[in-house]
Chain A
Amino acid sequence: MNREELAKYLLDKFPDTLELLETGKAEPFFLMKKPDEIVEFCRAIRDDVELRMDFLCQMCGVDTGENFEVVYSVASVKKRYRFDFKFPLPYEGAEIESVQTVWPGANWFERETWELYGINVKNHGNLTRFLLPDDWDQGFPMRKDWDAPDFKRMPEV
């Protein structure tokens, strides 16, 4: 399947869950409309015989300035496919479900998202200090409104 066929296959397979985004520039980029069913969805794309998305390339949080987004980039080693999907999250009480049961490698990506963005991860099991110093008490540094006395923004050019 090429890019278009893969996008069409996914939209046919998950019509209520996925919506193709125009902003995606390389591989198909989807908006995932049911964040509550993230684990079921991930398991479905991993176990689908046509897709076999067995490889989690990366997973990260994004602060757009209006809300959070969580992006998953998945790939298939067996079938050589790749696509991305994301869903928005509100600032207040941002929470996602851990997908470690599908891809164990998600563990550290989720821990990082929790630490740098303050997005809580349900059923993670090990949300402890990770990249930041053990005694860090200055909030979530990847948020756009984060500030610290010694943090200087570049002047506009």
Chain B
Amino acid sequence: MAELKTEEFVVNMGPHHPSTHGVCRFVLTMDGEVIVKVEPVIGYLHRALEKICENRTYAQCIPVLDRFEYCTSMSCNQVFALATEKLAGIEVPERAEYIRVIMLELNRIASHLIWLGTTSLDLGALTPFLYAFREREDIMDLFEMTCGQRLTYNYIRVGGVAKDIPKEFIPKAKQFLSTFDSKVDDYEKVLTENPIFMTRNQNIGVMSPELAIAYGVSGPNLRASGVKFDLRRDDPYSIYDRFKFNIPTGQNGDCYDRYRVRMQEMRESAKIVRQAIEQLPEGEISAKFNPIVFKAPAGELYSRIENSRGEMGVYLQSRDKEKKPLRVKLRGSSYNHLQAMPHLLKGHKIADVVAVMASLDIIMPDVDR
């Protein structure tokens, strides 16, 4: 019998694929079921936010940047406000700092809940999606009563926050936090020991710490590879040095570890919110800042914070007596995660593309900007 002829072939995945969380396309070179090469094709969501920001005053940039990473808009507001404050030397009042921390951590939980829902959905489990969105709804209610928005908040402003939290906020948040840990237990009951979920995730997409650092991978994905690095502790910004929290890490750097780390992180974030509510002082909610006449002094800096996906940063360069920034460079963590992804997929089966992408928590607005 003549020898069987085999050859590699190309599979196009996306841009409209339900599990790419936005519009991302992969060109997969396959050898049968096995992946030989992955080439991400991006740019479908490129909105030129950097160019738009160059054309706006500092205060006008904040609502634009809400769209930068819309799962954690609070972080986008925070990172730009922080950079501008450092540039101009603006002191933020105590109360505003605490409110910011409460919002950022609630937003981190909300973002992790979206990740949990969509990840389990991608891997074929529908139930956790419904659970996760039930809890996320409570957080959205809290945000809505504070700033009137559910997704693009425009709440953290240069110098402080837009307005004080309403009276009902604290009791509602306390009520949410009192039951949240048991809710996380519920999700874990469904997924953590589930044999199908474990088989789909364990030893899939293993990322070594060396690879992670070389490619600029940060956040939970870096910590899942065993590197204990969290900007909230290691390069503290705002008032994060006042709170006690653990930094969960993994050992193997596979999809399962990334899942475990994020589940732990939700509990830690809840801990931080509890402490912040406990210590919340009275006082001003914003420094003196006039958005219309504000002119930053000449300067440049790169400021970074830990958002739910990893290191979010903004490089800002300003000219003296100019109302608009000269250059705003946005650094989204998914950009680096997507870049490292082809290395995680080599030798895996085609079905693992979805598992790896879901576990890295890549969303496309963060990549394309």
Contacts and interface: CB of A to CB of B under 8 A. Distances in A.
A8 B358 CA distance: 44
B331 A77 contact: no
B315 A108 contact: no
A58 B317 contact: no
B147 interface: no
Interface stretch (A21-29, A32-40, A88-96): A21-29
A157 B57 CA distance: 9
B12 to A, nearest CB: 14
B365 interface: no
Nearest to A58: B331
Given A26-B302, A27-B301, A58-B331, A82 B213 contact: no
A131 B368 contact: yes
B235 A82 contact: yes
A84 B336 CA distance: 19
Interface of A (DSSP majority class): loop
Contacts of B218: 55
Given A57-B216, A57-B313, A80-B234, A105 B339 contact: yes
Contact of A130 (B42, B323, B327): B42
A129 B44 CA distance: 12
Contacts of B170: none
Interface stretch (B123-131, B135-143, B292-300): B292-300
Contacts of B57: 157
B255 to A, nearest CB: 21
Interface residues of A, number: 39
B42 A54 contact: no
Given A80-B234, A142-B51, A132 B313 contact: no
A58 B86 contact: no
A60 B329 contact: yes
Contacts, number: 104
A154 interface: yes
A56 interface: yes
Contacts of A154: 55-56
Given A27-B301, A58-B313, A131-B42, A105 B234 contact: no
A132 B331 contact: no
26 contacts: A21-B300, A23-B298, A25-B299, A55-B213, A55-B216, A55-B218, A56-B216, A57-B302, A57-B304, A58-B329, A71-B300, A71-B315, A71-B317, A73-B313, A80-B235, A82-B235, A82-B302, A103-B214, A103-B216, A104-B215, A105-B214, A131-B46, A131-B368, A141-B48, A142-B51, A154-B56
Leading 10 A-B pairs by shortest Cβ distance: A105-B216, A73-B302, A26-B301, A60-B329, A58-B331, A105-B215, A131-B43, A25-B299, A25-B301, A131-B46
Interface of A: 21, 23-27, 29, 54-58, 60, 62-65, 71, 73, 75, 77, 80, 82, 84, 103-105, 107-108, 129-133, 141-142, 153-154, 157
Given A29-B300, A73-B302, A131-B42, 10 more contacts: A21-B300, A23-B298, A26-B86, A58-B313, A77-B229, A103-B216, A130-B42, A141-B48, A154-B56, A157-B323
